[in-house]
Amino acid sequence: MKENTIKVGWNLENTYTNLPDILFTAIDVNPVSNPKLVLLNDGLATSLGLDSKTLASKQGVEELAGNRVIEGGIPLAQAYAGHQFGNFTMLGDGRALLLGEQITPSGELVDIQLKGSGRTPYSRGGDGRAGLGPMLREYIISESMHALGIPTTRSLSVVTTGEDIMRETVQPGAVMTRIAASHIRVGTFQFVARWGTIDYLKALADYAIERHYPILMDKENRYLLFLQEVIERQAALIAKWQLVGFIHGVMNTDNMTISGETIDYGPCAFMDMYNPKTVFSSIDAHGRYAYENQPNIAAWNLARLAESLLPLIHEDQEEAVKQAQEAMTAYPETYETYWLTGMGNKLGIFNLEEEDIWLIDNLLRLMEQYDADYTNTFRLLTLGKVEDTVMFGNKEFDQWHEKWQARLEKQDVSEEFIQQLMQKSNPVFIPRNHRVEEALKAAVEKEDYRVLESLLKVISNPYDYNTSYMDYIAVPPDTSGPYKTFCGT
C-alpha cells in the first residue's frame, strides 16, 4: 500500500548534481531513533513557501531529522578543501547533507541542508552527528545576525534525535536544517583547483556566477569580475561584523562563502567590553581569528580564492597573477570605506570627513582603556546619556565629547535625523554571552525552551529603543573573565 504524504510546500531543484562528480557524493539519509521538533522558524518557513503546521507533523519532523527524504530531494555531501588555521587540508561535509535547492515563492533558489545528519565519506573518523547545544547556538546567533541586517545563513529548525553523542561531555544529539543562498565556499574552489581539472574549475565558477552574479555571465573575463564581486561582498560583510562586535571564531577558508553570507556558527560570540584582541574560541590559542584580525584574515582568504581562479582569469600565468593582484588591492580600501561609513553612522555622521577618523579612533581607544561595553556605549551615545558611560568625567573623554558635538552641529540636518541614523546603526540588543549560555543550559539540561524563546523574541528586534526588556541590556558582573566557546564537532 502506498504511504500517504502531506504537502509541506517543498519545491526542490537539484542543480548541484549537474556539476562534476568530484564535487559531491550522493548518499542515503541516516535515520535517528526518536526525532522530536524543538524549534521551528515560522517566519522563515513562510518565506520559503512552506507550511509550518505540516512541517511540525510527524512526516515533516521525519524529513527535518533526516529519517525521510524530502520529495524531490537528492541527498548529497559536498566536497571542499580549506586552510584551517593556515594549514591546507581536504575536507567536505562530514556531518551535513544538502537535500536540494528550494524554489521560493519569489523565485529565489536556496539550499536546504541538514547539519548533524550522520556520517559521510568526508567525516574523517567523526560520527557525523551534532549536539543540541551547538545547534541551538547557531539558531540563536544566525537569527540575531539576520535581525541585525547582516547577510547570513539561517536556521529553519532544530530536531532532537533521541540519541546521545559524546563531545566534551555526553549531550543530546540534534539535527538542524540550515538555509543558505548556497554552500559554495572559497574552499570549494581550492578543492577543485588542487584535485580537479580546468574544465571542472570552469564548471564550478560558471555555476557560482549564474547562481549569485548572473549579470556577469555574458561579460568578458567574467571570472575576474566574479573575483571582484566576491571581494566587494566580503569587505561589506566583515565591516558589518566589526560594527556590531561579532567574532566568528573560525575564519577558515572553508567557512567563507562566495555568496557573501556568514556561515558556520561554531565558536562565535559578540564582544562585551571593547578589546580588539578578544578571542572566544577555545581552539584559537594564538588569536589568529581575534576581533582585530578578522578584516586581514578575510583578505588572506580572498587571496586563496584568487589563486584558485588564476587558470580562468588568463591563460598566461604571469598576466593572470597580475590581474588577480590588482583585484585584491581593492579590498583594503573597500573594507575601510564600509567600516568608516558604518562607524560614522554609529556616531550620527552621515557624510564622513577626514577629521572624523580622529573621532572614531579616539573613542575606540578610550573604550578599550576604560573597559567600556561596546554595544552599550554606542546605545548610550545614541540616547544622549553620556553620563552613564564608564568614561564620563574623564578629561580626555569630555574633550572628545565636545569635539563630537561640535562635529554634529556642523551637519545641515535636524537632531531628529541624526538620532534616527544612530538608532538604525546601534543595536540595543545582541545575544549576550551569558544570556545565550543561560538559554542553552535550560534547553539542554532541563528541556526547558522558555528561556531560549524569550531570548529569540528580544533579539529579533535589536534596534528597539522603546524597549522594556532592560535585563537583556545588562552586562554580567563577571564579563571580564575569559569566556570560551567550543566548535561542537
Smallest CA-to-CA distance from 271 within 108, 482, 118 is with 482
Smallest CA-to-CA distance from 228 within 206, 218, 213, 214 is with 213
Cβ–Cβ < 8 Å for 439, 132: no
The Cα 273–Cα 93 span in angstroms is 35
Cβ–Cβ < 8 Å for 157, 42: no
The Cα 78–Cα 93 span in angstroms is 5
Burial of 471 by CB count in 10 Å (0-12 exposed, 13-18 middle, 19+ buried)? exposed
Alpha helices for 410-432 (secondary structure H): 415-425
CB within 8 Å of 100: residues ≥ 6 apart:
12, 13, 14, 70, 72, 73, 74, 111, 112
Buried-state track 22-55, b at ≥16 Cβ within 10 A, e below 16: ebbbebebbebeebebbbbbeebbebbbbbbebb
Residue listed under C-alpha cell 593572470: 320
Burial of 477 by CB count in 10 Å (0-12 exposed, 13-18 middle, 19+ buried)? exposed
CB within 8 Å of 6: residues ≥ 6 apart:
54, 57, 59, 60
Q: Which secondary-structure segment (H or E) carries 446?
A: helix 433-446
Cβ–Cβ < 8 Å for 148, 427: yes
The Cα 66–Cα 457 span in angstroms is 28
29: left (phi over 0), alpha (psi -120 to 50) or beta: beta
Cβ–Cβ < 8 Å for 447, 487: no
Cβ–Cβ < 8 Å for 176, 114: yes
C-alpha cell, 286: 594564538
93, 111, 254, 284: the catalytic one is 254
The Cα 279–Cα 473 span in angstroms is 22
Query: Mapping DSSP to helix (H, G, I), strand (E, B) and coil, where does residue 100 land?
Result: strand
- Judge whether 254 counts as a catalytic residue: yes
The Cα 467–Cα 441 span in angstroms is 26
Residues belonging to the active site: 254
